[in-house]
Structure 1
Amino acid sequence: MMLSACSPSTGPADILSPVSLTSTTSTVRALPYGDSDPVDFGPLTPARHPVHGIDVSKYQGAIDWPEVRKAGVAFAFIKATEGGDRVDSRFDHYWRGANAAGIPHAPYHFYYFCTPAEVQARWFIRNVPKSAVKMPPVLDMEWNPASPSCKLRPDAATVRKEMRTWLDIVERHFGKKAIIYTTVDFHRENIDGHFRDHQFWLRSVAAHPGDIYPNHPWSFWQYTGTGKMPGIEGDVDINAFAGTRAEWREWLGKHGS
């Protein structure tokens, strides 16, 4: 395997740590899925990564999970909860469908800045059965300027403290260290250089995360929000895993259930 320039030189065991991996494949393949608003990533195209997955919420509507699996999707992140009082209306249906199709999946929680972290963690635990956690759970941290009810933007130290509270409670319950999802601006303002003990799922829809999040290791890359996927009508977010297919199997062996 070959580690990216932002990752330290490590032994084989460390490929299961939150480090950024780059496929050794020299041939640049075409992306396996369509896009309604495609971006030219140049030589650092996500097509260099052979393992791809989706993330979904109620807005994707009905999903034909066997078709999604047939299309080669290797994993799915599924919205479960938001704040301390909202459950995605399709969560139960989605995780059962992904499970029946044999697609490894993880529930994610969308953080709400006007509810204490402990309340949100307990809400997530209350509404996510352990049987739904086939991959580590995810904490989705991003600003939400469209929120009609919460305009609060805590300072960075408070954000990190609240994140740690949520992460610790959820890890104790599920026995898995959560993955952190974040966006460029939120990462830059609040968590750059922190939570290195966690794996990261990074959003970067215009350039490779190595350019946008310099020197930051990552395990998953959300490279489009306008993807086209068999089995799903309309647009869907598509993501790449950082490593090879063999490294994906090894990752699942350690982090999957």
Structure 2
Amino acid sequence: MKFRVLSKFIFRRYGIWIVALLVLIIGFWIFRSRRPDELNWRFVQAFGIRLPMHYTIHGIDVSRHNDRINWDKVRRMEAEGVRLQFVFIKATEGATLADKHFDKNWREAKKSNLRRGAYHFYHPTRDPIKQATNFIRHVQLNPGDFAPVVDFEVTNGQSDETIVNGLKLWLKTVEEHYQIQPIIYTNGNLYRQYIKGNLDDYPLWIADYSTKHLRRYNPDKLYLWQHNQAGWVQGIRGQVDFNVFVMSEDRLHDICL
């Protein structure tokens, strides 16, 4: 009985401090349990978006939808101490289409000292060998360029088997030609349904605008993260996709010729 009375007295007098202490203990435990790569998340407002500053290598990707680009302005732009260091440029689509601005963008990106890469927009309803041939016919890669990229973001109502087998054929054909593993670009949903468990050996470039951590993706193969599609860059009309290289800088050569 005396213990119960004493407990009520202590809680009545010190209850708020006990609760505060418990909150601090729980908060400290959660903080200590977070992964080290989550402890340094820092964002700044730059290029019209929130830029993840815990990564140091920033870049963009462009296509004909960005119209004519003033690459000199792109090269010279700086925001919050950040300059763009790389660009991926759309080269081809399907079995026959080529981006009308690719050749000029490819040349000018090189002149602007941006590390460059070329990507192919993949259609599961088209012959994967012909699509690979279309890309190879239009894209000459040089040492220092990024590995070829297959842009996989539509399924066109095709079966899982058709999609996975077609991607395998495209990747194999392109790898044999350039002698380097291509990069797979896709979003989180398509990654989980088609890439994970089927094409885990290839470097991954993921488009995910809803998160600030990347634990759901294979950390050994995730090299690039497209974190925003609404950036702004001098010399480019309209909104621009923004990306970061998420590995340590000495791993950049893994995905370059």
Question: Do these two structures clear the TM 0.5 threshold for a shared fold by scoring above it?
Answer: yes
Match of 1:223? 227
Please say if residues 55 and 244 of structure 2, whose CA atoms lie closer than 8 Å, have aligned partners that are also in contact: yes
Match of 1:204? 208
Q: In the aligned structure 1, how far is the partner of 2:213 from the partner of 2:244?
A: 11
**Partner AA of 1:56 in structure 2:** V
Alignment match of 1:118 (pick from 98, 120, 129): 129
How far residue 30 of structure 1 moved from its aligned partner, in angstroms, is 1.1
Give the helix-richer structure, 1 or 2.
2
Alignment match of 1:33 (pick from 47, 51, 55): 47
3-state SS, counterpart of residue 223 of structure 1? strand
Gaps of 5+ in 2: 1-33, 78-82
Match of 1:171? 175
Indicate yes or no: 2:152 matched with 1:157: no
3-state SS, counterpart of residue 130 of structure 1? coil
Match of 1:68? 74
**Partner AA of 1:185 in structure 2:** N
How far residue 105 of structure 1 moved from its aligned partner, in angstroms, is 0.8
Q: CA RMSD in A?
A: 2.5
Match of 1:141? 152
The number of aligned residues is 218
Alignment match of 1:96 (pick from 99, 102, 107): 107
Q: Percent same amino acid at aligned positions? A: 31
Alignment match of 1:58 (pick from 44, 53, 64): 64
TM-score, with length taken from structure 1:
0.76
TM-score, with length taken from structure 2:
0.76
Gaps of 5+ in 1: 6-20, 39-44, 145-151
Q: In the aligned structure 2, how far is the partner of 1:23 from the partner of 1:129?
A: 39
Q: In the aligned structure 1, how far is the partner of 2:187 from the partner of 2:52?
A: 17
**Partner AA of 1:251 in structure 2:** R
Q: In the aligned structure 1, how far is the partner of 2:113 from the partner of 2:62?
A: 16
How far residue 27 of structure 1 moved from its aligned partner, in angstroms, is 7.2
Indicate yes or no: 2:199 matched with 1:195: yes
1:54-102, Cα deviation, whole Å (9 max, x unpaired): 0000011122223222231111110000000100010001110101111
Indicate yes or no: 2:88 matched with 1:84: no
**Partner AA of 1:64 in structure 2:** N
Indicate yes or no: 2:232 matched with 1:256: no
Q: Name the structure, 1 or 2, with higher relative contact order (CA <8 Å, separation 6+).
A: 1
Aligned pairs (5 A) from 1:180-191: 180-191=184-195
Call closer, same or farther: CA 1:121–1:214 in 2, change over 3 Å: closer
How far residue 187 of structure 1 moved from its aligned partner, in angstroms, is 1.6
Q: In the aligned structure 1, how far is the partner of 2:165 from the partner of 2:150?
A: 14
